[in-house]
Structure 1
Amino acid sequence: MSRQTVALSLLLLAIVIIPSGAFGFTHPAYAADSPATSFTFAAGGDIGTPNQGAAEVSLSYLAATNPDFFLALGDLSYDRSVTGGMWCNEFKDQYNHIEIIAGAHDTGEFPPNATDSTRSYEKFVNNCPFSSPNGARIQLSPNCPAPESCYGREYYFDYPNTNSPLARFMMISPGVFNITGGCSAPCSIPHAGQTCNVQNEALYNCWPYVRGDPHYEWVNDTINDARNYYPSIRWIIVGMHKPCLSAGKENCSIGPGIFNLLLAQNVDLILQGNDHAYERSKQLALGNGTCNAIPYITDPGKNNSFVAYNSDCVVDRGSNGFYKPHVGTALVIQGNMGLGNDVDETSKYPYNAVESPYFARLMGNNTLGFGHGFVKFTVSAIEVHVQTVFTGTVQDEFRITQPPVPSFSWSPFNATVGDTVTFTASVLGGLEPYSYSWDFGDGSPVTGPIVQHVFSNSREYAVTLTLVNSLMESRTAQRIVAVGSWNAVVNCSPVQTTIEEIIGPKGITRNSTDPNSIGADYTGGGFQLVPNLQYNPQSPANPTSWPFYKRAVNLPPSCSYGRIPAFVELRNVGVRSISSSGDCSKYFDVSNGGTPYPNGLQRCVTAFNLENWNYTVCPTCYMHRVYAYIDRDWNASGHAPQSAPTRGERIDVQGFIYWEYSSVTAFWHSFSGWELLVTGWRVSQQNQTQPPNSPPPRPSKASALVIYVGLAASFVATFLGVFVLGTFYERRKRRSGSQRENHVSDLNPEAAREV
């Protein structure tokens, strides 16, 4: 079903810190024992319909990343026909642990006839209730008039729900109009950027969060409560929909009062949406030099509020990738899960461009490599590790932690057995001299800032660098180094296998009128990434979801799922039925940004069958073939093979296991869903008379010409040492026709049907 988605004055504000207890907090019996090791959460806003377009892809990434919980930062839907139960059900169909806060499009800030405003936030509250995976207790603000609940509007929770929580999460709603549904007619603001204040709060049913009002004081008291009564809480994290600072297009619609309070309290992170971009601030704090408050600009023509730049408000520029804890606040604006707008655009948004020096990293529609997605946070007692999960090539990563901060890189990135791999350590902060010790996961420790190592087996190694500075402060960094991949950006070790092991021995008749339509049933396959399906000839297993999307360029599949390998290598297999005339386009898929291909050229899927060349006569052949697939987006990224293998050629090939549910009745797909998503191939180095698929000794590398498919190598070159292979879960039943692969035409049926 198709649905439409989507006068400068410096105010030196006195920030009054009110003692904890003013709002009658109760204190659960948390003890000051050892905190939990770590947990993960994600955050993002401005989502849209969960099963359409960029929102669907972002949600797929979220499901595969599988954080402990997700903070939805408002503007959940832009379609008033998709709200409440429908929206929540579609979202939770892929990922369940969502905690929400109100957005302007959710509450009714826009005219009643606006189709992009749901105006029914209570339906989201009722259908997306607080859902902590470990039973964390939500504490509601007392400031919502009965019978309204403050969930989704103003609440906090401590996480994890142990005797020693690590973090307090506060969700608030400054500047959001009609926040409790009591707005008087016509219930719409006069112009974009209208701020909530004491004079209009009754008219627009909004909360101004100014000093002295109950919402402002509740925030202040909740912060003090965490610090005074819970020694294990290391981090204060505040989420809301609207921002104050923005290098995109939004003004300070939350007002300076609450923003200055959060800076004065040195909360660790502020998470916001509304601006359809990614913006990571420098670390900000008050009380340095002339920065007693954020400088506030008022435009009398529009009553819009913006912020002037004051370098004294910046305590850390963030260019080195880490901030020290508890000395300032970092903002993360992430409102591009479903939509996008420009950033740092002087001609369109001059006031916002003035604010851009407050930010360390920006990404908008006008950024090369823009993508949709969310931000992932890994929280421990000693650090918060922040990583973006975007569909484009632009990514960001930073830490809030005490120095020293070690990291390392290695070359070659795609090492094979016998390669000499050089490891180079780097460190941020701390006091020299440093000592470096390395553990390569194979019992061969060494010391030094630059070391070399030779791996003897094709597998994954957990390489650990331990750094100690002159104060005897010790920190570690660990990365997984995969040995054996031919592709520079696939950090996985291939499992050598055979076609027969991939597809399995269980044959099943796909067409009752065609006795020759016997293909491999899913339940016999050796790489069942979707588990627990049972063999049933009357209703064959045919998983309609898979742990990753075959068209992903920038977040390729993971190496394994549930300990089942996903990346394999076949040797000495035959090639037949090559076609590149089917699925074609001039544009990247929406999951990869939706932009035109380089030079406006059309690219097509290259598809062919791989076969055990002892079984070339069909229908017997169908149980000895697997469909191979090189995606057009991979090709357009500039790193796909310049030429496909030749029909009749015998090759070695690496790739990811996939099940294409829509092709199980196609003879050209061997009446089975099994596919190999090719990442690299080479002319077979094996004796051509040797039985196919048998694992020979590794050939001499000097004779191997490797043709590989790259997955965003430019990204790896830019972010080497940061890149983490991601995954996402594809809801293929619901993909629109423009995004769905046309598998029926991937191969010429006349060329493919060989019996």
Structure 2
Amino acid sequence: MSTGGWRIGTAVLLGALGMSLSACQERPVPDAGSVHFTAAGDLGMGSGARQVLDVVARLKPDFNVALGDFSYKAGAEKEFCRMVTSKLGSDFPFQLITGNHESDGHDGLIGNFAQCLPSRLPGLQGEYGVQWYVDVPQDRPLARIILISPGLEFQDGKELDYSRGSDRWTWTEDAIDGARGAGIRWTLVAMHAPCFSLGKYGCVAGQDITNLLLSKKVDLVLTAHEHVYQRSHQLAVGGDCGWITPGRVEEACISDDGSPATQGKGTVFAGVGTGGLGGHKVRADDPEAGYFAAWSGANTDPALGTLDVTITDARLDARFVPAAGYSFTDQFSIVR
């Protein structure tokens, strides 16, 4: 592992085991070659966000992926950054991808957040905060994490173009293929807005980019935007499922509904809009509900918390860790 923020080994192992005991859950023991990170979006600056940051601090990950929608307050970028660094330290890699609240500037600007919470992972490629990827760890990568911004309006009132064949669609495809060509075991994508959802939004991210990720069998896609937790079965296109269309369930597109899932059979989507605000309801009767394996919302096991992910050469293990006062949990694995 490279230095500069990476804490692989005994400290991470003890931190992870301590958390698993307090949560009364079994946790796989990462070996010396592992990556450990947390992820959540839709934070705000209230007590909920501070509670979730306390969970992150307790878990001691190598880095955190903040899935967009940060301060929910105009002009509060530095205040938000101070909240984060007061909990996690000034050098902790709190990695950013924009949400709609800071892409168009009405609740701060992503560029300002990126200045006071800069990338602290070495080897980053692309435009930090908007569209970028990084291989972790840098010296002997186990995973490539690709962050994109489909479906969001920016200050010019326009969305970035992730339609099929566009420059950003091609960039995303090349980043996925490049990871595979370099022999990197795991490929993850993170973006603020989902396509499939049990909440109030439709396919914000767009069908083209979503079906690209499915066709490439990206291992895990992380989203937020809906202030809920929602985790899908493993989904894939190909064979009898030529294209996934939002608003209905195609059984042929569910490649694996067991546990653990098998790498290469499809993609798991995990929506983690539970970083501090909460408040959205989930609809168990949603026409896309058949794609989902687990969920939590304001009307069903409400929870704030973070997704805790450990990756080794052989497996990806993830669990939802609730903040203090909440009891909802979820865990899933993908194995090679």
2: CA distance, partners of 1:216 / 1:105: 23
Aligned to 1:292: 242
Q: Given that residues 105 and 119 in structure 1 are in contact (C-alpha distance below 8 angstroms), is that contact kept between their aligned partners in structure 2?
A: yes
1: CA distance, partners of 2:51 / 2:328: 16
The runs of 5 or more residues in structure 2 that have no matched partner are 1-30
1: CA distance, partners of 2:275 / 2:316: 22
1: CA distance, partners of 2:230 / 2:273: 9
Aligned to 1:67: 61
2: CA distance, partners of 1:234 / 1:381: 7
Q: Given that residues 73 and 108 in structure 2 are in contact (C-alpha distance below 8 angstroms), is that contact kept between their aligned partners in structure 1?
A: no
Q: Given that residues 36 and 166 in structure 1 are in contact (C-alpha distance below 8 angstroms), is that contact kept between their aligned partners in structure 2?
A: no
Q: Any residues of structure 2 matched to 1:450-529 within 5 Å, and which?
A: none
**Is residue 2:104 matched to residue 1:118?**
no
2: CA distance, partners of 1:314 / 1:393: 28
Q: Give how far 1:161 is off.
A: 1.4
Q: Given that residues 36 and 165 in structure 1 are in contact (C-alpha distance below 8 angstroms), is that contact kept between their aligned partners in structure 2?
A: no
Aligned to 2:159: 206
Q: Given that residues 46 and 339 in structure 1 are in contact (C-alpha distance below 8 angstroms), is that contact kept between their aligned partners in structure 2?
A: yes
1: CA distance, partners of 2:85 / 2:153: 27
Aligned to 1:173: 149
Letter in 2 for 1:344: R
2: CA distance, partners of 1:383 / 1:71: 20
Aligned to 1:37: 33
Letter in 2 for 1:57: Q
Q: Give how far 1:288 is off.
A: 3.1
Q: Given that residues 76 and 108 in structure 2 are in contact (C-alpha distance below 8 angstroms), is that contact kept between their aligned partners in structure 1?
A: no
Q: Given that residues 208 and 255 in structure 1 are in contact (C-alpha distance below 8 angstroms), is that contact kept between their aligned partners in structure 2?
A: no
Q: Give how far 1:209 is off.
A: 0.4
Q: Give how far 1:81 is off.
A: 4.1
Q: Given that residues 42 and 277 in structure 2 are in contact (C-alpha distance below 8 angstroms), is that contact kept between their aligned partners in structure 1?
A: yes
**Is residue 2:274 matched to residue 1:342?**
no
Aligned to 2:138: 161
| Counterpart pick for 1:89 among 58, 62, 82 | 82
User: Cα deviation per residue 1:553-585 (whole Å; 9 max; x = unaligned)?
Assistant: xxxxxxxxxxxxxxxxxxxxxxxxxxxxxxxxx
| Counterpart pick for 1:396 among 311, 330, 333 | 330
| Counterpart pick for 1:372 among 295, 300, 304 | 304
Q: Give how far 1:338 is off.
A: 1.2
**Is residue 2:201 matched to residue 1:250?**
yes
Q: Give how far 1:167 is off.
A: 0.3
2: CA distance, partners of 1:126 / 1:36: 33
Total equivalences in the alignment = 300
Letter in 2 for 1:171: L
Aligned to 1:355: 288
Aligned to 1:316: 256
Letter in 1 for 2:117: C
Letter in 2 for 1:168: R
Letter in 2 for 1:100: L
**Is residue 2:173 matched to residue 1:234?**
no
Aligned to 1:78: 72
Letter in 1 for 2:169: Y
Q: Give how far 1:205 is off.
A: 2.5
Q: Give how far 1:208 is off.
A: 2.8
Aligned to 1:265: 216
User: Cα deviation per residue 1:226-272 (whole Å; 9 max; x = unaligned)?
Assistant: 111x22x1100000000000011111011100000000000000000
Q: Give how far 1:36 is off.
A: 6.0
**Is residue 2:116 matched to residue 1:127?**
yes
User: Cα deviation per residue 1:280-315 (whole Å; 9 max; x = unaligned)?
Assistant: 1000000131x101124xxxxxxxxxx321111001
Q: Give how far 1:86 is off.
A: 2.1
Letter in 2 for 1:292: G
2: CA distance, partners of 1:376 / 1:337: 12
User: Cα deviation per residue 1:170-214 (whole Å; 9 max; x = unaligned)?
Assistant: 000001111xx3x1xxxxxxxxxxxxxxxxxxxx23113011210
Q: Secondary structure at the match of 1:137?
A: coil
Q: Secondary structure at the match of 2:196?
A: coil
Q: Give how far 1:108 is off.
A: 2.5
| Counterpart pick for 2:129 among 148, 152, 157 | 152
Aligned to 1:104: 100
2: CA distance, partners of 1:67 / 1:54: 20
Aligned to 1:139: 125
Q: Secondary structure at the match of 1:312?
A: helix
Larger relative helix fraction: 2
Q: Given that residues 208 and 254 in structure 1 are in contact (C-alpha distance below 8 angstroms), is that contact kept between their aligned partners in structure 2?
A: no
Higher relative contact order (CA 8 A, sep 6+): 2
Q: Give how far 1:330 is off.
A: 0.3
TM-score if structure 1 supplies the norm length?
Answer: 0.39
Q: Any residues of structure 2 matched to 1:590-739 within 5 Å, and which?
A: none
Aligned to 1:217: 170
| Counterpart pick for 1:327 among 265, 287, 291 | 265
**Is residue 2:49 matched to residue 1:55?**
yes
Q: Give how far 1:56 is off.
A: 0.9
2: CA distance, partners of 1:345 / 1:330: 19
Q: Secondary structure at the match of 2:87?
A: coil
Letter in 1 for 2:62: D
Q: Give how far 1:119 is off.
A: 3.7
1: CA distance, partners of 2:160 / 2:73: 25
The runs of 5 or more residues in structure 1 that have no matched partner are 1-34, 110-116, 141-149, 184-203, 297-306, 347-352, 403-755
2: CA distance, partners of 1:36 / 1:257: 38
Q: Given that residues 75 and 108 in structure 2 are in contact (C-alpha distance below 8 angstroms), is that contact kept between their aligned partners in structure 1?
A: no
Q: Given that residues 36 and 160 in structure 1 are in contact (C-alpha distance below 8 angstroms), is that contact kept between their aligned partners in structure 2?
A: no
Q: Given that residues 266 and 328 in structure 1 are in contact (C-alpha distance below 8 angstroms), is that contact kept between their aligned partners in structure 2?
A: yes
2: CA distance, partners of 1:58 / 1:80: 22
User: Cα deviation per residue 1:391-410 (whole Å; 9 max; x = unaligned)?
Assistant: 321101111014xxxxxxxx
User: Cα deviation per residue 1:122-180 (whole Å; 9 max; x = unaligned)?
Assistant: 11121111012xxx31011xxxxxxxxx2100010000011x210001000001111xx
Letter in 2 for 1:223: I
Q: Give how far 1:367 is off.
A: 1.2
Q: Give how far 1:344 is off.
A: 1.5
Q: Given that residues 278 and 364 in structure 1 are in contact (C-alpha distance below 8 angstroms), is that contact kept between their aligned partners in structure 2?
A: yes
Q: Secondary structure at the match of 1:94?
A: helix
The percentage of aligned residue pairs carrying the same residue is 34
2: CA distance, partners of 1:223 / 1:36: 25
Q: Secondary structure at the match of 1:354?
A: coil
Q: Compared with structure 1, are the counterparts of its residues 355 and 36 closer, same or farther at alpha carbon in structure 2 (3 Å cutoff)?
A: same
Letter in 2 for 1:155: W
Letter in 2 for 1:294: I
